[in-house]
Structure 1
Amino acid sequence: MAITVGDNVWSYAVAVVLGYLTTSAIYNAYFHPLAKFRGPKLWSISRIPFIKHMLAGTLPYRIKDLHDQYGSIVRVAPDELSFIDSTAWKDIYLQKAFIRPKVWGSRPPGVEAHNVISAPVADHTRFRKVLQPAFSEKAVRQHEPTIERYVDLLIGRLEEAIQGSKQNTATVDLVQWINFTTFDIIGDLGWGSSFRCLEDTSYHPWIKVVLHFKAVLVATSIKYYPWVEAFLMSITPKSAMADLEQALATAHSKVKDRLSREPDHPDIMTHVIEHNKLSPETGLSQGEIEANSMAIVVAGSETLTTALAGALHHLLKDPKAFKTVVDEIRANSESEDQITAASLASLPYLTAVLNETLRISPPLPDGLRREVPKGGAIICGHMIPEKMTVSVPCWATFQSKSNFVSPDVFLPERWLSEHQGDDSPYKNDNKSSFHPFSMGPHNCIGQTLAWVEMRIILSRLLWNFDIEVPDGKVLPSWTQQKIYWTWEKQSLDVQLKKATRSTSGPVR
């Protein structure tokens, strides 16, 4: 058989590619600067196993397993390390020079402006200076009436569902109702107008687009291979971007409308506008306002829904803890108008329930990745070369036996002051490893607001309703859910009835 020139070219090309892959694998496995760190060989020589688990929704679970097998530092990709040692929090996240890798801080196609997630150091610092006053304790107190108004609407909607039933009970999906509430609250606070989810009992079209977290991770994984990204962008029809373009147009319209009027109550934009007037040289452009407001709306809704759904899920599985927190909330407030952020902040068991929820079901289970700055850095006593990616994965860290006793068990008592003595079973819990809102200059800017919303929404639900799992239903394990940035939450179908003051907790 004759050998053609074309056959020779293809054979040569295949040989070159195979040679490159083999050389790269050998280098990554044995000669790479991170070769001394333990981890599975396939993960050490290629990013593909990492991406495979990320797109399957199992990456945080797998990384936790790897830490169980290999220890507190694991090599999870050729150029990436994962740490569950508590000292890594300070070594990584308290340092301004550690920035988000470009792959993990990219912007949607067509968006030029950065937000607090994607911004380089100088812009991030400027954004935080503008936005921080909107999330101060003083500002959050001003936001409380807005929060209460939407929680009133939530309670009213659930009461309507009960009244419409002959049995004076209603079976509802609390994940959906809580999501409606958190989106309406942050929509009002962020853009001066809600999404009307509670009023219309449905998701706004904008929300349906931005909640496609798996699509975001697909886009992120492609960015590890620039030539693949360039090729896909070149063949992607414009029509495929229609939903994204509509979402961006909605954000533009919302911001434009808010900037053109003065609302009847202070919101996040109030502080941005004030800063722009007083210090225009460091203010936000309209594009930056749009980009940051979108990030705030998404982060300020979905993560809260996860925390509240997680709290209710674990309480329903633990009747004793459920009764304890219900009794505390109802004993603290004779009337519903006494349920305020200030009164709830003093309830130790409620705070313990929420802390334990953030530990066992952290809204962001994966690691917040950072790039080691020029010159390298010492992390947990090891010199890590520049440009390597490092992170502390929340779920793996909070679920590690090296940090918490019985880490897979929901135990609010571990957070109570009376259980901190030498005779406590929780005396060896490493609380310094627990930072669900991250720490340092890139920590969650809205955590004060988040705590107020979590306390008020959960307390108002438990004060107003007796909640139980419907007959014949069994709550699935929380960890049966996949994780795409946050948990892909299954429905939380519960049976509600108006609270009976003589009893508390779920009826069993």
Structure 2
Amino acid sequence: MSAAVLSVPYATALGACVLVYFVVYPLVVYFRDVNGLRRYPNMHPLSGISHIPFMVLAHGGARSTYLSKLHQKYPVIRTGPNSLSYGDVRAIKDIYGHNTPCTKDSSYVISSGSHYHLADVIDKHDHARKRKLLSSAYAIKNLEGWEHKVADKTVRLIKHLDTCCTEPPAAGETPKEEDLTVDYRKWTNFFTLDAIADIGLSEKLGFLDRGHDRVTGRRLDGTTYECNLRDCLYQNARKQSLLIWPYAWYPLINKLSNIIPFYGRMGKFAKDWDGIPIELSHRRLQRYRAGEKLDDFFQALMEDKNGHPNNLEWGEIVAEISIMMNAGSATTAIAMTNVLYQLLKNPDMMQKAVEELDAALEDDDEDDDGGVVAHDKVKHLPYLRACLDESLRLFPPTPHGLPRETPQDGINILGDYIPGGVSVAMSAFVAHRQEGPFPQADKYIPERWLGEEGKALQPYFLAFSAGARGCIGRNISYLEQTVVLASVLRRYGFALARPDWQLERLETMNWLVGDMPVKVWRRERKSALSG
């Protein structure tokens, strides 16, 4: 009997197995409906059976925008066989609040490395240990310790912007293409990367000085290579955002996808990213072993505040450095781009912010510091902070719903019982576009954050997540955003290419923004002229 004849029954059996596993079994699970999720409307007719519709949606790069439109009609939507998306802001407390029994779901397990870091650890006791370990380094009382490093990077940013200044435009003039001398997106990203490397590792990456983000990575065998940090960071997250949704299949899909050039290129960047925190941690360890006592996060990982060793495994240290370099740079850089973009799109609000700054500062407040406005001078300016928060609301740097798993005994969300083991989430973008707490939600209105009315909105503000798992680097982000925005608005005028120019956006795990070329010139301050 020939091999071809023998292969027919095997092929038939394989096809039957594939049919049963991928079609029949999901249909049986769907109609059995053990968790009672069929009572919720589907994101797509197949969402109750397969994760494929959500993966397709992810490839469109505007996942949360689509969900937000659905949530205008449905408070709860089924996005996958065992996952729900919420659109009612009252669900924030149930899912993310300090006393919620929900934990991070298994997506954090399959996307983690050999060791968990603070952002992906699931076990609550292990999370509490890590948070206690790092809380002293991230505490708000350390702002003074961070500020000189942030100021140093702001000086370097200003030095570059000074070289790019053009003549002020005439009233109503559209900038010439050759006058769009600065990609504000790129240079603020250089700023956040330089700043977090200095704050965390006392490392001088020098991106602002060199004008590029070329770095050294280290393989596990000790050999090194050169790569571009931003490409590695963002393409790593992009690939994960496209493929992770069928959790059980993700490890296999992630590997097999590399044979397709589109994913293979992202996979190469992801592999290169892994070696960057290894190299940075290795360099900092050499300094630690040489006896340098430096005021940074690495020191907090190695020793407690009394100088006693923490005895962490090397893999855990590298994991914490990895998330620090990732979360500590990407989202803040996106926020910096967004807020200037919003102010340029809303000239009246730009004028209010600048007038508030000019009223609060003396003519020479920043002249002796390389153009840097001191944080203490502007940290309490209400309209400046409102501009930042409104930009974070309108375009949260991390818009997608951070998934949580319901506890074994289940939980009530919005008054409905959800059984254990179900993934539940609420997108920051969806929450921030709800007309109830945020009237005219699609508009940039900083005034909504002022006074008591602004304080009342805080429970619905998810830009830094919420509860015990909220972003530990919130204070650093606000410090950097405030100092940079105040310094550049005080010193410069900016213009987009044309009034109708739009910033490109692509949703991955974060909401990436495209290049933002601007015309920049030195301001003539009214206070200086009137003196």
Aligned residue in 1 for 2:118: 116
Distance change (3 Å), C-alpha of 1:189 and 1:266: same
Q: Which of 178, 183, 188 is the aligned partner of 1:178? A: 188
Name the residue aligned to 1:211: 234
Matches of 1:372 and 1:78, distance apart in 2: 15
Which residue does 1:332 correspond to in 2? Answer: 360
Matches within 5 A, 1:36-115: 36-40=39-43, 41-69=45-73, 71-93=74-96, 94-95=98-99, 97-107=101-111, 111-115=113-117
Cα pair 1:170 1:497 within 8 Å, conserved: no
Correspondence for 1:423: none
Deviations 1:142-174 (A, max 9, x none): 111111011011111111222899x99662110
What are the within-5 Å matches in structure 2 for residues 337-352 of structure 1?
339-352=373-386
Q: What amino acid is the match of 2:276?
A: A
Pairing 1:154-303 to 2, within 5 Å after superposition:
154-162=157-165, 171-204=181-214, 205-212=228-235, 213-218=237-242, 220-221=244-245, 223-225=247-249, 228-229=252-253, 232=256, 243-244=272-273, 246-261=275-290, 266-275=295-304, 278=307, 280=309, 283-303=311-331
Work out the CA distance in 2 between the residues paired with 1:194 and 1:137: 23
Cα drift, residue 483 of structure 1: 0.6
Deviates more, 1:136-145 or 1:180-189: 136-145
Give the whole-Å Cα distance in 2 for the aligned partners of 1:164 and 1:319. 19
In the alignment, which residue of structure 1 is the partner of 2:171? none
Is the Cα–Cα contact under 8 Å of residues 105 and 117 in structure 1 kept in the other structure?
Answer: no
Cα shift at 1:256 = 1.9
Q: Distance in 2 between matches of 1:405 and 1:430?
A: 11
SS at match of 1:482: strand
Look up the SS of the partner of 2:41 in the other structure: coil
- Superposed CA offset, 1:219-253 (max 9, x none): 5346441573487399899x958624533542342
**2:12 alignment partner in structure 1:** 11
Letter in 1 for 2:376: A
Q: Percent identity?
A: 25
- Distance verdict in 2 for CA 1:264–1:468, change over 3 Å: farther
Change (3 A) 1:259 1:102: farther
SS of the counterpart of 1:409?
coil
Paired amino acid for 1:36 = R
Greater mean alpha carbon deviation, residues 381-390 or residues 92-101: 92-101
User: Retained in 2: the 8 A contact 1:60–1:393?
Assistant: yes
What per-residue deviation string (whole Å, max 9, x for no partner) do you get for residues 455-506 of structure 1? 1011001011011224x57421x5x5111111221111111111111399xx
- TM-score normalised by length of structure 2: 0.83
Give the match's secondary structure for 1:466: strand
Which amino acid in structure 2 is aligned with residue 243 of structure 1?
D
Q: How many Å separate the matches in 2 of 1:226 and 1:144?
A: 41
Question: Is it true that 1:432 corresponds to 2:436 in the alignment?
Answer: no
Alignment match, 1:323: 351
Q: Is the alpha carbon distance of 1:150 and 1:412 closer, same or farther for their aligned partners in structure 2, counting shifts above 3 Å?
A: same
Deviations 1:58-89 (A, max 9, x none): 211221122123x2211111101111222322
Distance 1:473 1:289 in 2: 47
Is 2:522 the counterpart of 1:498? yes
SS of aligned partner of 2:304: helix
Deviation at 1:270, TM superposition (A): 3.1
Q: Does 1:416 align with 2:416?
A: no
Tell which deviates more after alignment, 222-231 or 287-296.
Answer: 222-231
1:116, 1:220 → 2: CA distance? Answer: 20
- The residue type equivalent to 2:525 in the other structure is R
Instruction: Give structure 1 stretches of 5+ with no counterpart.
Output: 421-425
Contact 1:171 1:494 in 2 (8 A): yes
Q: Is the 8 A contact 2:185 2:333 kept in 1?
A: yes
Quick one: which amino acid aligns to residue 49 of structure 2?
Answer: I
Take 2:390 and 2:277, find their aligned partners in 1: how far apart are those partners? Answer: 36
Distance 2:464 2:513 in 1: 20
Whether contact under 8 Å (1:55, 1:214) holds in the other structure is no
* Letter in structure 1 aligned against 2:407: P
Task: Give me the CA root mean square deviation.
Answer: 3.2
Listed as ranges, the matches of 1:368-447 within 5 Å are 368-417=402-451, 420=453, 431-447=458-474
Residue 486 (str. 1) matches residue 510 (str. 2): yes
- TM-score of the superposed pair, with normalisation by structure 1: 0.87
CA distance in 1: counterparts of 2:198 and 2:254, whole angstroms: 38
Amino acid corresponding to residue 518 of structure 2 in structure 1: V
Q: Which amino acid aligns with 1:284?
A: L
Alignment CA distance shift 1:503-1:171 (3 Å): farther
Paired residue type of 1:438: S
Shift of 1:364: 0.5
**1:123 Cα deviation (Å)?**
2.3
Note closer, same or farther for the CA distance 1:147–1:244 as it changes in structure 2 (3 Å cut): closer
Q: Give the number of aligned pairs.
A: 488
In the alignment, the residues of structure 2 paired with residue 245 and residue 364 of structure 1 have an alpha-carbon distance, to the nearest angstrom, of 21
For 1:149, give the aligned amino acid: D
Q: CA deviation at 1:272?
A: 2.8
**Distance (whole Å) between structure 2 residues aligned to residue 164 and residue 349 of structure 1:** 28
Q: Which amino acid aligns with 1:390?
A: V
In the TM superposition, what is the alpha-carbon distance from 1:430 to its structure 2 partner? Answer: 5.4
Q: Residues 372 and 283 from structure 1, CA distance in 2 versus in 1: closer, same or farther, beyond 3 angstroms?
A: farther
Secondary structure of the residue aligned to 2:440 is: coil
- Please tell me whether the aligned partners of residues 48 and 80 of structure 2 are also in contact (alpha carbons under 8 angstroms): yes
